[in-house]
Structure 1
């Protein structure tokens, strides 16, 4: 029975060490992820609103990365697909707005879920690590009391050592829980801030397209039309030269 108590106590400590490693790995990964997402979004928003027209904004969205850029990509794709599926008149502008807002909301939720991955693990570790440590301490104390009973000596020198070793599990549990809780609270606030920025951009994006009746033109189509015009003008000039020759 004594061996089982020792085994449980030691296994609890190793489990807490594993939780600590996972926690710090998540902290590093989430810190890089949120910092990168915030930086990419800020750079894209600044570049997006510097565009001179909608086609240029579409090109900037296609070349950019980050949560805000993906929201813009989804929004423009929704409106471009609507050009092929609905009539190009103002009667469809409100249905286009509903379609656009629905797709933007879905993409915002997708981005938030991506940013929130791993947060549940931090919350679970922060909530349960102290109790896991206390669980190991209980079996450590049982082992210590049994050892004291077998020795027949209950002096302070004999009791303090085994009891102190048993309490190590509780201390490790608290040491694992504190960083996890602090990191969870920090990333929750960080993700809420990024989510608020995404909501603001989506609102501004809808207002921008509302000015054009939710009608957008594919920049590639514009380029192809321009090339056709240049090609036609070149052919006409060649024919004129042949006639005059």
Structure 2
């Protein structure tokens, strides 16, 4: 098929629909490539960082180790947030008010939300493309068929040969919509599972880190006594 001829024959609605599908495809593939790299590195980094953290002799050594391993900054923000509470001085602000347990819960929750927002970035776009691209393509098909039949009827000669070509060209829009939607849906589902696994590891680590620092803080007064 001569794509240039098809493009010239289409009206503004057909061209706008094709451009919308092209924009959806480019945006979804950019997100797919970025998230595939992020989650591949993140899955490896989180496992290495958690193992290295628990093998470290102290928090300072653990931070130095995580700085080298945590390429996507998924674990280090949690440790930094918890460390800010561990080294906090007197309660001069509301952020420092409350018990050590409350402060740790708050800062770890906030840090975890930031990390999870990074992991989940792009999921809404993939879901949107996956759910709307088939209908955008269908709109282009319906409009293209209507446009083709109107021109054929205006010519006064209707035959299978005259109808098959324009209608076949219009049906390509449906195929284009599916071609855009299917990779987005598959990526959304695959990335969702990967994000859930990393999220579970990070939530478990945040809980363990909180208990560790609370236990350390409770031991300090006992040793001083």
Length-normalised TM-score, structure 1: 0.76
Q: Residues of 2 paired with 1:57 and 1:159: CA distance?
A: 71
**2:180 paired residue number:** 176
Contact residue 144 and residue 163 of structure 1 kept, 8 A? yes
| Alignment partner, residue 32 of structure 2 | 27
Q: What is the match of residue 121 of structure 1?
A: 125
Where in structure 2 are the equivalents of 1:42-81 lying within 5 Å?
Answer: 42-61=47-66, 65=70, 66-81=73-88
1:52: how far off?
A: 2.5
CA contact (8 A) 2:52 2:66 kept: no
Q: Does 1:104 align with 2:94?
A: no
Instruction: Report the Cα distance in structure 2 between the residues aligned to 1:47 and 1:34, rounded to whole angstroms.
Output: 19
Rg larger for: 1
Q: Superposition RMSD on alpha carbons, in Å? A: 2.2
Aligned residues: 205
Please tell me whether the aligned partners of residues 27 and 183 of structure 1 are also in contact (alpha carbons under 8 angstroms).
Answer: yes
Structure 1 gaps, min length 5: 87-93, 217-245
Show the counterpart of 1:16.
Answer: 21
List runs of 5+ in structure 2 lacking aligned partners: 1-7, 92-97, 221-225
Distance 1:19 1:67 in 2: 29
SS in 1 for 2:99: helix
The DSSP-based 3-state class of the residue aligned with 1:85 is coil
Residues 213 and 40 of structure 1: CA distance in aligned 2, closer, same or farther (over 3 Å): same
